[in-house]
Structure 1
């Protein structure tokens, strides 16, 4: 009976809208110095998953923000269920049945999970006060429906990035929208959480929800999407059914060129031990972690969310110093009580969450890129050598293909992937001996991923020792000389490149 009603509802939408729940025609959007979208189109059918593909800066997120009422287009039309509409604000879009899960999470960390989900829609008791017990009950019911195991009364600040992502997803689902936009929903979660998300998506699709799915991950496209559209440099390239194309077809459409190697791992001479970690522990988080890292080596760090991968990296770098154990550099025991101590020892850390712990959003690209290098010098007669540091930053911008009108542009105006490139550039400018990369290609498009992988390989060839944390097993396997696997705060094994595969890593990660 329910499935019949759902089918009838979808049929009614298709009859009114000619088969589409959402239609975009001739949209143009300009920002100072940049044409973000130029005469683009997009159509979404009810009860389907439509993937939106393209390199960073292609215009995907800009179009979705227009659909979500965040931006106003300079020209063009939007039709919702066959009727032309003007979306004046995010609230207007929500009231019209459009919800969006943003790539950069926007939860209020000082509030509880339930308060974040039902903000401005809180249940009230008979005297008009917020009924917290009912709000918790509704959240538990929503989480049970979605298979999410998070305490509704927990403060968001205590959650991992992956857990926050699931809260964002639950919040969007709670609006019961006809159109649900997901912008890089799997950028911060592991393969196990991805499967969970896909179960949720399939359930929503079966109920007639039209889902726009923005991703850079090819495997996700073929697993979950019914069709896809490709944008390049702010222009619409084309739309195809997923079953009609190959991975290489999509890449050619996205970047306008062939990418023959996604993981250009090049041979590097692996020499002396530069970093040695012995019985490193952080009370209540991880225990007795021991490993060695050599010059020229790329050590992959794998494990499910909550395994302690990021915590180990942050302890080594002094963000949250370990409570016991020993760190040696070049055989010499060192005390790393702060990131400044780590930087003096030649370390650099690209953090997992660029918004909360990476970018200074109100500052320019130049200021964000140069800030770590300035701590190491680049001064003349006591003053910053603006010409020298500016030239270095501009060279790094070109090497990493950061798309921006100029270096004075505020970093908050860049796409997520371009923000990530700026942060990578920041640490490369310090010329580190030990480089720790936590999800280095999170939110990075397919073309830039290959470039960053190539850059990591070149750094290893130059003798830099690299620790690379990634939730993408193909990335770990493709780039690592060895793979260290963690589970619930313990190291469960280290695999050489020749013996490592996805099955062995998952067996160690799930112990």
Structure 2
């Protein structure tokens, strides 16, 4: 197995920033850049979010802007889109002409559009209304011409090669369809440069391929796309160059031809990582979870598997394979129609998630923002949300000292980087938010931990930290079921890998005894 092909570094890491050789630009684009920036700096209260950054993108180019969370990517995009003003001495040129006094309106007039991760769509409005929204903006109120709106929306969707009913509400669309609507809205506004912030974070493999096809179509039409993604395989597949930022500084711009995910990870983090499959001897370990012929009509059928003490079992497969549906039944959220579940040899009849928690099962959902955390509540409140009963004193009120000790203990154990426990959890990076989710469930002292896509929206450096925690939990004897559609994640972090398709387990793999390429061929066949 060639480690350079991997997208999921093992959590053990060696080296420091100083171990990675100094880097310089290795690729210079030919011709006049569509957008060129020099000496871009941005300070917030004396903190340097950006320091002497340079950036350029060519007409029709698909460029990746890469770096860990907090490296300055979003700040740079906000400078380019006119939300932030750079420090003096910055130079910004569009088509070789200097840009002065850039604000959001002027950026839109220049053809600069940003599609943020939250998409900023209106869920109750129709597809056509969302796509043609900006056409109805102006200094004076005016009547909306719905016929022209639908014509414009239809023309753009046809240009993208996509068929979505114009009268459907955006709320009824899948995430992938909403991405298309956001792209179409940018094109209606005559976009020449489109920034896409984590466009595939919540998409399946098939949906991602469809989106990348649209990105290539935009490029062929001469529209430049700047792609921001933590999924490095996509970056190297769709982009021609990658610009790397680290700690607010410019690291370099490199051609993706010949670039490996390992090397790109090193450039982004300033660290090197070890890539190796797990080699844990679990032959004598007792079985913690055993399910036999578990079925739920329309979701999964005759699923049998076991997870031993200290074992990480990976489950992968394409969208609709039934992985999340199986996890929900194991957590008591849905009831199977047939089959049995046993924990530590004792049969379980789970009527709710409370039954599962009492039995010793914890579940980290794939949707951290909606199901894993209450974004408006504090870090502390989220951490103790699943164990409030255990914090009550003799008066049946929460004991403040017991609560604070528990919060402090998990923040320290999982090395969660926070300001104060009373800060809203929404103030944290994706990686630290995911650690809070883990803390919440680990506080229940589970025997079985189910992790459903635990690194969605988490950068590569933070992923390594999360998997280091997962490995440590397994070493301490916890049984772990790891669900992910990113095959390298299960390949390098699981003791065994199960392939699920159409609701059934169709193959078993032992990492090391098979190649990652073979698993990927089987899954995507």
TM range (shorter): 0.7 to 0.9
CA distance in 1, matches of 2:348, 2:110: 58
**Alignment match, 2:59:** 46
1:241 correspondence with 2:255: yes
**Alignment match, 2:438:** 424
**Alignment match, 2:193:** 179
Summarize the Cα distance change of 1:35–1:308 in structure 2 as closer, same or farther, 3 Å threshold: farther
**Alignment match, 1:274:** 288
> Which of 473, 485, 510 is residue 471 of structure 1 equivalent to?
485
1:248-287 superposed matches below 5 A: 248-261=262-275, 265=278, 267=280, 269=282, 271-287=285-301
Aligned length: 489
- Deviation of 1:169 (Å): 4.1
User: CA RMSD, aligned part only?
Assistant: 3.6
1:57 correspondence with 2:70: yes
> Which of 342, 351, 357 is residue 337 of structure 1 equivalent to?
351
- Deviation of 1:264 (Å): 6.5
Instruction: Give the secondary structure class of the aligned counterpart of 1:238.
Output: strand
**Alignment match, 1:6:** none
Normalised TM-score (structure 2): 0.80
Summarize the Cα distance change of 1:284–1:150 in structure 2 as closer, same or farther, 3 Å threshold: farther
Instruction: Give the secondary structure class of the aligned counterpart of 1:348.
Output: strand
Q: With CA pairs under 8 Å and 6+ residues apart, which has the higher RCO, 1 or 2?
A: 2
Summarize the Cα distance change of 1:246–1:92 in structure 2 as closer, same or farther, 3 Å threshold: same
Deviations 1:198-257 (A, max 9, x none): 322222222222222212333333322222222222333333333475545433332222
Summarize the Cα distance change of 1:499–1:468 in structure 2 as closer, same or farther, 3 Å threshold: same
**Alignment match, 1:83:** 98
CA distance in 1, matches of 2:393, 2:72: 39
**Alignment match, 1:67:** 80
Contact 2:72–2:245 (Cα < 8 Å) also in 1? yes
> Which of 217, 229, 232 is residue 203 of structure 1 equivalent to?
217
CA distance in 1, matches of 2:170, 2:336: 24
1:427-466 superposed matches below 5 A: 427-466=441-480
**Structure 2: segments with no counterpart, 5+ residues:** 1-29
CA distance in 2, matches of 1:477, 1:282: 28
CA distance in 1, matches of 2:473, 2:433: 21
Summarize the Cα distance change of 1:44–1:267 in structure 2 as closer, same or farther, 3 Å threshold: same
CA distance in 2, matches of 1:105, 1:266: 42
Contact 1:21–1:210 (Cα < 8 Å) also in 2? no
**Structure 1: segments with no counterpart, 5+ residues:** 1-13
Contact 2:382–2:436 (Cα < 8 Å) also in 1? yes
CA distance in 2, matches of 1:147, 1:335: 48
CA distance in 1, matches of 2:271, 2:404: 31
